[in-house]
Amino acid sequence: MNRLFVATLVKDVRERLRDPAALGLWLGIPLVIGVLMSLGMGGSSGPKPKSPLYVVDHDESPPSQFVANAFGFGPFGEFFEVSSPTEAEARAKLADDEGSALIVIPEGFGAALWRDEPTELQLVTNPAQRILPGIVEETLEIVPDLVFYAHRLVGEELRERFESFDEREPTDADYVAIGLEIGHDVERFQKFLLPPVLKLASAEAQPSSSKRSVSFGGAFFPSLLFMSLIFMASGCAEELWKEKRQGTLRRLVANPCGLAGFLGGKLVGALAVATGVGTLGLLLGWAAFDLEPTRLPLALVWAVGGAGLFWCLFALVQVLSTSERAANVIGNMILFPLLMLGGTFFPFDVMPGWMQAIGRFTPNGWLVLRFRELVDGPASTGAVLGAFALLLVLLAAAFALALQRFSARFVRS
């Protein structure tokens, strides 16, 4: 076996283990987001009486529908019976101790969100209840965060577009057009370079097993796992510019084994770390969400392969970039929109239809959806084989491309 390959693999894994903070971050960010997303979803899955939750949507835009739908989904669906009476009816019912809470979405809510203008959701809770209204409240508190991220990503573009809507309200078609534009122009993502999402990690929230939730968590779990793996892949690929900065590539080119062994060693090193992260993630998932154990090994292979694909993509970004800074900027510009669109920051199920339609065609969207089938969906042998074959082909193609650029230009420039 290529000795440079083995040496590099061992060295890279060693370096990774030397940096437990990064490892912790990769696992921690998704965990914190997961915990935030499923806050307040407690208890076992026994049948419970559902409590009415009233949503009055004066706006009826896609963003307002997103908020309204979120409460009908997953575990919320177990607690709440969402209905849309008139505001007066709803207030009257709450006053009669009937129902948990009333969410009032004001007119112009969606447009204000898109424009990054202040807007407010009104929450009226039933004073006689404590826990259920609390769940609604905490969940709603996440919305501003998501909106904040969205604005750091695409805010300027949206504001520009909305200037053109001065005379009229945006239609659904406008929202679709905006969605399609996301990902075309990359410069506006610069502001996201110090993503506030990273700050969450310092919150050091401990995942607590009492916070387990079956369906919501179960559905969101694949997204979180891939978030971890993609962060990890990105972090590992960033080693390429670090190697260049440290000058080690200058000695490396004189190695008789060739550069394929080196880059292959780095890829497999990343796969090894992914196997560790993935195993840990799947064990957590298995403990928290009752995943079917017999399905996990294949799911792990898929997840690790997916991490490998992302490593190759980020490696390609690294070797195509002319400076370390540019490499990391461009990497993030690609990473965060992909996570947003591809059902990784929040599950597909709560995304509006147009976003789901785009997200399915992102690499992470594809990986997550297939992963969900592998874990608890119907998956025919043919479909599984096909998916693995496609993954392998993509992986090989991305690696070959990265290797070509790496040896032809990157090591020598």
CA distance 338 to 239: 21
The site that binds another protein (CB under 8 A) totals a number of residues, namely 26
CA distance 355 to 358: 5
Q: Which is nearer to another protein, 18 or 58 (CB)?
A: 18
**Of 373-412, which residues contact another protein (CB under 8 A)?**
411-412
CA distance 97 to 93: 7
Q: Which is nearer to another protein, 272 or 357 (CB)?
A: 272
Q: Which stretch binds another protein (CB under 8 A): 171-179, 251-259, 361-369, 379-387?
A: 251-259
**Residues belonging to the chain:** 413
326 binds another protein (CB under 8 A): no
Side chain identity at residue 303, one-letter code: A
Query: C-beta of 377: minimal distance to another protein in Å?
Result: 41
Candidates 40, 106, 207, 258; binder of another protein (CB under 8 A) is: 258
Q: H helices then E strands: how many in the chain? A: 17, 4
Q: In what order do the strands lie in the sheet with 80-83?
A: 80-83, 51-57, 101-105, 122-125
Strand 101-105 to 122-125 pairing: antiparallel
Query: C-beta of 202: minimal distance to another protein in Å?
Result: 22
Candidates 1, 7, 144, 337; binder of another protein (CB under 8 A) is: 7
CA distance 233 to 215: 28
Which helix (H) or strand (E) covers residue 389, if one does?
helix 381-405
Number of other residues whose CB lies within 10 A of the CB of residue 409:
12
**Tokens read off for 175:** 């929202």
Q: Which is nearer to another protein, 10 or 385 (CB)?
A: 10
For another protein, what does the binding mask look like between residues 11 and 30, x meaning CB under 8 A? Answer: x--xx--xx-----------
Query: C-beta of 10: minimal distance to another protein in Å?
Result: 7
Asked whether 321 and 244 are in contact (CB, 8 A), the reply is no
256 binds another protein (CB under 8 A): yes
Query: C-beta of 261: minimal distance to another protein in Å?
Result: 9
Closest residue by Cα to residue 355 from 62, 34, 60, 57: 62
Query: C-beta of 28: minimal distance to another protein in Å?
Result: 21
1 binds another protein (CB under 8 A): no
Asked whether 336 and 193 are in contact (CB, 8 A), the reply is no
Candidates 20, 49, 118, 251; binder of another protein (CB under 8 A) is: 251
253 binds another protein (CB under 8 A): yes
Collapsed DSSP state (helix, strand, coil) of residue 287: helix
Q: Which stretch binds another protein (CB under 8 A): 167-175, 204-212, 245-253, 319-327?
A: 245-253
Q: Which is nearer to another protein, 84 or 246 (CB)?
A: 246
Number of other residues whose CB lies within 10 A of the CB of residue 49:
6
Query: C-beta of 26: minimal distance to another protein in Å?
Result: 17
Query: C-beta of 188: minimal distance to another protein in Å?
Result: 34
194 binds another protein (CB under 8 A): no
Closest residue by Cα to residue 410 from 270, 300, 245: 245
**Tokens read off for 388:** 């693995």
Q: Which is nearer to another protein, 24 or 353 (CB)?
A: 24
Q: Which is nearer to another protein, 105 or 259 (CB)?
A: 259
Q: Which stretch binds another protein (CB under 8 A): 9-17, 156-164, 282-290, 364-372?
A: 9-17
For another protein, what does the binding mask look like between residues 198 and 237, x meaning CB under 8 A? Answer: ----------------------------------------
Query: C-beta of 262: minimal distance to another protein in Å?
Result: 8
CA distance 357 to 348: 10
Collapsed DSSP state (helix, strand, coil) of residue 71: coil
Residue 56 phi/psi, 5° resolution?
Answer: -110, 115
Which helix (H) or strand (E) covers residue 101, if one does?
strand 101-105
Binding site for another protein (CB under 8 A): 3-4, 6-8, 10-11, 14-15, 18-19, 246-258, 411-412
